Amino acid sequence: MAKKLTHDTDPQPREKMTVTAADVGELDLGQMSPEKIVRAIERRCRGPLAEGAQETISKLLADGQLDEARALDAASRKVCGQDWNEIVLSHPFDGKSHETPCPKCGTLVRWTAPVFQVA
């Protein structure tokens, strides 16, 4: 008899369990297709940086205020969310550099296609 799998929506408290690095399996990349390797990482467009923010971020970095620079970068963006893996997978895996405008928000993204070793 086949096991029936159901979604668990039971709100009852569960036994507390700690997941550590020792419990994390290692992927055998040799068994994964290039597309699966690309999709193993979700990539999303962060949206455009507000005008003038880059200058302030540069000043913060020069002053060593890294946390403030990060926070300003995050706060100065209009979230886009475009799936960038779709862009990556529409290009050859040739290690070439690209500058591609986001199809959703127009932000110019610099990215580099992956290369895969052929056994």
Partner 1 sequence: MPIAASDLLLQGAASRPVDDATTSGGARDAANKPEFTQLTSNSVVAAISDGADTRTLTVTGRNTAGAVVSDVITLTGAVEAVGVVTFERIQRAVLSGADGARTVTVRQGAGGATRATLEPNRTSVSMLFQNSASETGAVNRYEKAFWLNNHGSLTLNSAAVKLTADPAARIRIGLPASKDDTATVANRKAAPGGITFVDDNVSQSVPGTTLEAAAGIGVWVAQELLAADAPIRSTYTLELSGTSV
User: Is residue 62 close enough to count as binding partner 1 by CB under 8 A?
Assistant: yes
Closest CA to 85 of 30, 32, 31, 34: 34
Among 1, 3, 64, 119, interactor with partner 1 by CB under 8 A:
64
DSSP class of residue 98 equals E
User: Is residue 111 close enough to count as binding partner 1 by CB under 8 A?
Assistant: yes
Among 1, 2, 5, 19, interactor with partner 1 by CB under 8 A:
19
Q: Which residues bind partner 1 (CB under 8 A)?
A: 18-24, 26-27, 29, 32, 34, 37-38, 40-47, 49, 54, 57-58, 61-64, 66-67, 69-70, 73-74, 84, 88, 95, 97, 102, 107-117
